[in-house]
A = this chain, B = another copy of it.
Amino acid sequence: MKPEYRSSLPPAAGELFDEMVRWPIFDPHTHINPHQPAARHFEEILGYHYYTELAHSAGMPAEAVAPELDPDSRAAGVVLYLDRIDSTVQYSWLLEIARTFHRFPHDRITPANLSELLTRADHRQSGPEWDRSVWAASGLETVFLTNDFDDPLEGWDTRNYVPCLRVDDLVLKLHEPQTIARLRKAVDMEVDDFVGLRRAIGRLFERFVARGARAVAVSLPPDFAPRAASHQRARTPIRKAIHGMNLRRDESEEARNSVFWLLAEFCADFHLPFDLMIGPIRNVYPGGVAGGRDLFDRRVSLYDYRELFNHFAGVAFPISTLSPDASAELVAYSWIFPNVYPMGHWWYSNVPAFIAGDLRARVQALPKNKLLGYYSDAYKLEFIVPKFNMYRRLLAEVLAEEAIGARGWAFERALDVAKLILIDNPKRIFAEVAMRSAPGI
**A residues adjacent to B (C-beta < 8 A):** 4-5, 7-8, 53-59, 61, 83-90, 92, 281, 284-288, 292-303, 306, 309-310, 313, 323-326, 328-329, 331-338, 348, 351-354, 357, 360-361, 363-370, 401-403, 405-408, 417, 438-441
Contacts and interface: CB of A to CB of B under 8 A. Distances in A.
10 contacts: A57-B335, A85-B367, A89-B364, A89-B365, A285-B310, A285-B336, A299-B300, A324-B332, A351-B364, A353-B357
B309 A285 contact: yes
A88 B351 contact: no
Contacts of A368: 84-88
A364 B324 CA distance: 14
Contacts of A405: 8
Which of A8, A298, A333 gathers the greatest number of chain B CB atoms within 10 Å? A298
A154 B357 CA distance: 46
Contacts of A348: 328, 331-332, 335
B53 A298 contact: no
A58 B367 contact: yes
B298 A337 contact: no
A59 B438 contact: yes
Nearest to A281: B303
Nearest to A95: B407
Nearest to A286: B310
A408 B357 CA distance: 23
Which of A288, A293, A364 gathers the greatest number of chain B CB atoms within 10 Å? A364
A59 B364 contact: no
B367 A361 contact: no
Given A301-B298, A306-B284, A57 B324 contact: no
A54 B324 contact: no
A437 B5 CA distance: 37
Contacts of A366: 54, 57, 88
Contact of A328 (B85, B292, B324): B324
B292 A297 contact: no
A406 B8 contact: yes
Contacts of A306: 284-285, 295
A441 to B, nearest CB: 6
Nearest to A89: B364
Contact of A57 (B84, B354, B367): B367
A336 B296 contact: no
Which of A53, A84, A336, A352 gathers the greatest number of chain B CB atoms within 10 Å? A336
Given A92-B407, A284-B306, A439-B59, A365 B337 contact: no
A347 to B, nearest CB: 9
Given A57-B334, A61-B438, 14 more contacts: A57-B338, A58-B439, A59-B441, A83-B441, A85-B368, A87-B364, A89-B364, A287-B313, A288-B336, A297-B303, A298-B301, A323-B328, A323-B332, A325-B328
